[in-house]
Amino acid sequence: MTRWWRRRAAEDGQGAGAPPPGPGPRERRGEPQRDGTEERGHTDREQPQPHEPRPSAGAGSTGRPSGGHITITEVTEGRPEEEIARIEISVEHARAMRAQSVIDRLGFEHPDALVAVRDLARVLASAPGRGEDAVELYQQVARTQWTVLGDRHEDTLRTSAELAAVLHETGQLQLAESAWRDTFRGQAETLGRDHPDTLGSAIGLAVLLEDLGRAAEAEPLLRDVLERRIRLLGHDHPDVLTSTNAHAAALLKCGRHEEAERALSALVPRLEGRYGRHHERTVAARANLGAVLCRLERYAEAEPYMRAVVQSCEATVGPHHDATFTARNNLAAVLHGMGRYEDAVPILRAVLAGHVALQGEDHLSTAGARDNLANVLIDVGRHAEAAGLLDRCVRDYHRMYGPDHPRLLATQEKLAWLRENPAPG
């Protein structure tokens, strides 16, 4: 395995027994924030790209637990105990207190302590702005498990998968790729290619490759997962239906639009019959089919389809959910393709604002929304505003991908064109 799980501890000088971070705001150390985005196109005539929903990587996907409380009780001899105060504490405080207590009693290397710290890391990973703290804790646990249990132990590999997912979520894509590859390789060798954990890591690696703009590498991984799940579970298992949708989305990102349309046209009726028109699985597949119609420039079909998907998302997961933002982005892509630029702009402004509120200024999805809005602003002649957005994208892409990534180079080219061609008037 590579040293991706050692990086933060080496920088900070933390040992394996370092205490978990408290639940307060994290001190800024001056390092850049990591961002990410979906694939874009060329310079001055670019429309927002349809985003396909991401399949779950299967690692660290447990629901966010609730917090707790501290009870202060008065004890008087000869009288029953009386509760005089109850202090509510957040889930971060509760998990941090529990982790520190177990470490103090048993030591950091005890299995119960590692479980408690990993539980805290999971909570932090799901809290806005705490991803870097989660990475640090996961690295401490992974390093200790490597030493105590070995690099191929099932618990070590499971921690590694959760760490890979958080590295991806925080925009540290190159480290995430190393983590996913090491974890997938280790699970395949020790658990077998058919094990659910191995399949989950294959999906995680594939989603990461898609975010890196390498969909052609992701598609075979997702196809293999689909074929294995069909063989193990049968054609109608929920995991098989989810994998069918994920593979179809990969075909779409590879430009194999006709194949994607055939797969999704067969999948959507099956999902509607089994779950109903507004179920989350059905809506995800319908969204992908709408994206295919957009890529095939069948805009007259795509517009009502995508409006229906937006309505379904708003009804099922709410107006402020990531899936709803994706659906609205895809509707804007249809309107842009039809030349209705002024109709697309307010939708994309709202999508960007929604991502900022939900995930922060530096999130992968926020960068993609910023890029998409800039592309449409170019077409309506608002070059100065578009240039400001793309300047931020250039900084984000440089942090995420490095200096030579095609996405960064394309954005730099587009920004240079804008500066050389200011809008008239």
Measured distance CA(23)–CA(212) in Å, rounded: 32
pLDDT tens for the chain, 425 residues: list them: 334 443 333 333 343 444 455 443 333 222 222 232 233 322 233 345 554 444 333 333 344 455 566 777 877 777 788 777 777 778 888 889 999 999 999 999 999 999 999 999 999 998 877 888 999 999 999 999 999 999 999 999 999 999 999 999 888 888 999 999 999 999 999 999 999 999 999 999 999 999 888 999 999 999 999 999 999 999 999 999 999 999 999 999 999 999 999 999 999 999 999 999 989 899 999 999 999 999 999 999 999 989 999 999 998 889 999 889 989 999 999 999 999 999 999 999 999 999 998 888 888 788 889 999 999 999 999 999 999 999 999 998 888 777 888 888 888 999 999 888 876 54
Its sign, for the CA torsion 394, 395, 400, 401, is positive
Measured distance CA(51)–CA(61) in Å, rounded: 21
Other CB atoms within 10 Å distance of the CB of residue 415:
20
Alpha helix ranges (H) inside 234-321: 238-253, 257-275, 280-295, 299-316
As to burial, measured by CB atoms within 10 angstroms (0-12 exposed, 13-18 middle, 19+ buried), residue 166 is: buried
- DSSP per-residue codes, 152-165: TSHHHHHHHHHHHH
Alpha helix ranges (H) inside 126-237: 131-148, 154-169, 173-190, 196-211, 215-233
As to burial, measured by CB atoms within 10 angstroms (0-12 exposed, 13-18 middle, 19+ buried), residue 157 is: buried
